[in-house]
Structure 1
Amino acid sequence: MGDVLAGFHAAWEFESDSVLIRYERGIRTPKLFQALGERRVPLAALEDVTLTPGRRGTVVLRAVPRAGADPLIEAAAGQLKDAYDPYRLVLPAERETLAEYYADELRGLLTESGPADRHLVAAPSGPLQFKAYDGKAFFDGASVRFRWFWTGASTAKWKAGDQSFPVADLGGVEWRSPDVLEGHLRLVPRHSANEHPAPPDQDPAAVVFGLGYGPVHESLPFAAAVLAAVRGRRPGAGVSSAAARRDPADIAERIRHLGELHEAGLVTDEEFSFKKAELLTEL
């Protein structure tokens, strides 16, 4: 098709095998869209296109992704508000006829339906990081790390120490929106028989959100990137020795935090010695 349809906060560029969605960076544009920048959505990732009346003299053109085709949508698990939906294009009502034309044209190019057997839309690229209420989360493509904060982390998390989870050991990601109570990001082990994990604030495999911590535009792309890495992992593939090797500066920082815990009486002498020796073996 090769045409461009511009709406509020985004523009869709129609190509023969995909739709390139470019998001604006204006002050009124949702921060999630600004964080995404642009996304190329293969037509094979879509199963329908709808056009419906919007609010205040607008119409809404929406592409409907197939289940499992987009890691961002899979990680969101239906929790995104309409304003954050990256597949919605809001247009003035006077452009309804034009929007209907593009909807019909695009709909005629779609040939796939039902769940996708793999991700077809690229995940946000890394490295990624964000601040949660009780710690900071990092993802470098090979592993996820949680570094706990003095002011928010529970005693259980401090005693467990900062955490590192190779992608090869993970089976999924659980994201609960920071827009609701008990929002969090939890890593699901690859082989987990525990159907009732500890509450997120006590679970060393989870970080919890709070007011201003773990916002959607930071934590959801993070969750999507981790989920895409987990889904894209080849059976039996592990993390390379180069990726598994820890940064000495990071180890030193973790030992420093451990020392602060020890001085505060939150870990015993034995726990401090054991954990310090364990960290040193990662160098």
Structure 2
Amino acid sequence: MGDVLAGFHTVWEFDTDSVLIRFERGIRTPKLFQVLGERRIPYEALAAVELAPGKRGTVALRAVPRPGADPLMDAADGQLKEGSDPYRLVLPAEREVLAEYYADEMRAALGSSGAEPADRYLVTAPAPPRGFKAYDGKASFDGKSVAFRWFWTGASSAKWKAGDQNFPVDELAGVEWRSPEVFNGHLRLVLRDGADAAGCTPRGEQPGAADQDPAAVVFGLGYGLVHESLPFAAAVLEAVRAAEPDEDAMPGGPGRTVAALTGADKARPDPADIADRIRHLGALHDAGLLTDDEFSAKKAELLAEL
């Protein structure tokens, strides 16, 4: 097609085999769009194209992704609000005829796959932040493992007892993301069958409360930003899929993962933060929530980080 269709906050550039979705930056632009920047969506990753009336004199053109084609939408699991849907282009109502033309062109390019689930990711996960802050800890991802580091001001005693966590991607079966905009929002890691990682919820088992689970960080209602945590979850999910046994089926070939940070990129621990965490451990010990041995062991772990 080779044409451009500009809407509110978003521009679609059409090619013969894909559409490049570019998200504008601005005060009124949804923050998730600002983080995404741009994404190329192959037509084979789409199940359908819809055009419907929008609000306040607008029309909305929406590309419907195939199940399993995009790690971002897999992670979101239908929780994104309409205004933050990255597959939705909103236009003035007077451009409805033009929007219908492009909708027909895209439908003709979709092929025969329809709504059939994709057997691999066809859309690349957005570049994730190196880390993001939740209510009870900080999550970081270097392409090979996910790390959770607890905040003494928010983490439960169960998480403090378990200590900071590190989960190699090849030991994970998936990621559970619950939006920070709803009650009990969190990001939880699910353990692959046969793996052995303390605190992580094994595949097929009913998980406990996220605030007590060392394999989860809790957002808190309205805390923990969608625009940071969702691309993070998508990148981890993509890496988990790439680490599955059938690596040849993953986008980009065997062993495809998010690029790892070099040692120089990883920040050194803040001594003041370590001191605060030791003081919090002392408070838990004084309250009888940590035994003498547990307190000594956790203190030694923290001191070893300096």
TM-score by length of 2: 0.83
Structure 2 vs 1, CA of residues 243 and 62 (structure 1 numbering), >3 Å: closer, same or farther?
A: closer
Q: How far 1:158 moved relative to its partner?
A: 0.9
Cα separation, 2, equivalents of 1:51 and 1:254: 52
Deviation for aligned residue 1:193: 5.3
Match of 2:65 in 1: 65
Instruction: Give the structure 1 partner of residue 268 of structure 2.
Output: 249
Residue among 154, 157, 160 paired with 1:158? 160
Q: Which residue of 1 aligns with 2:251?
A: none
Supply the AA of the counterpart residue of 1:85: D
Question: For 2:180, what is the secondary structure of its paired residue?
Answer: coil
| Partner-residue secondary structure (3-state), 2:235 | helix
Aligned residues: 280
Q: Residue in 1 aligned with 2:214?
A: 204
Look up the SS of the partner of 1:73 in the other structure: helix
1:79 and 2:86 aligned: no
- Give the 3 Å change call, closer, same or farther, for CA 56–265 of structure 1 in structure 2: closer
What RMSD, in angstroms, separates the aligned Cα atoms of the two structures? 2.7
* Cα shift at 1:221: 0.9
Q: Matches of 1:146 and 1:101 in 2, distance apart?
A: 48
Q: Identity, % of aligned pairs?
A: 68
Distance 1:119 1:251 in 2: 38
Cα distance between partner residues in 2 of 1:14 and 1:178: 33
Cα drift, residue 84 of structure 1 = 0.8
Distance 1:189 1:197 in 2: 11
Q: TM-score, normalised by structure 1?
A: 0.90
Shift in alpha-carbon separation, 1:121–1:243, aligned structure 2, 3 A: same
Corresponding residue for 1:115?
Answer: 117
Q: Distance in 2 between matches of 1:55 and 1:120?
A: 31
- Structure 1: distance between partners of 2:215 and 2:162: 10
- 1:272 partnered with 2:295: yes
Output the CA distance in 2 between the equivalents of 1:263 and 1:274: 12
Give the gaps of 5 or more residues in structure 1. Answer: none
Structure 2, unaligned stretches of length 5 or more?
194-201, 247-254
Q: Tell which deviates more after alignment, 194-203 or 7-16.
A: 194-203
Shift of 1:265: 3.9
Matches of 1:257 and 1:229, distance apart in 2? 34
Matches within 5 A, 1:211-226: 211-226=221-236
Distance change (3 Å), C-alpha of 1:170 and 1:245: farther
Matched, 1:230 2:278: no
1:81-138 deviation per Cα after TM superposition (whole angstroms, max 9, x unaligned): 1111100000001000100111111110111221000111111224531111111111
Asked if the contact 2:183/2:221 (under 8 Å) is kept, the reply is no
Match for 1:168 among 164, 167, 170?
170
- Asked if 1:260 corresponds to 2:279, the answer is yes
**Contact 1:127 1:141 survives alignment (8 Å):** no
Of 30-39 and 270-279, the range deviating more from structure 2: 270-279
Q: Indicate if the aligned counterparts of 1:245 and 1:282 stay in contact, CA closer than 8 A.
A: no
- Residues 128 and 228 in structure 2, CA contact (< 8 A), matched pair in contact too: no
Q: What is the distance in 1 between the residues matched to 2:179 and 2:129?
A: 21
Q: 1:265 to 1:106 in 2, by over 3 A?
A: closer
1:6, distance to aligned residue in structure 2 (A)? 0.2
Per-residue CA deviation, residues 246-279 of structure 1 (Å, 9 max, x unaligned), is 9693497886565333432433331133345667
Amino acid at match of 1:224: A
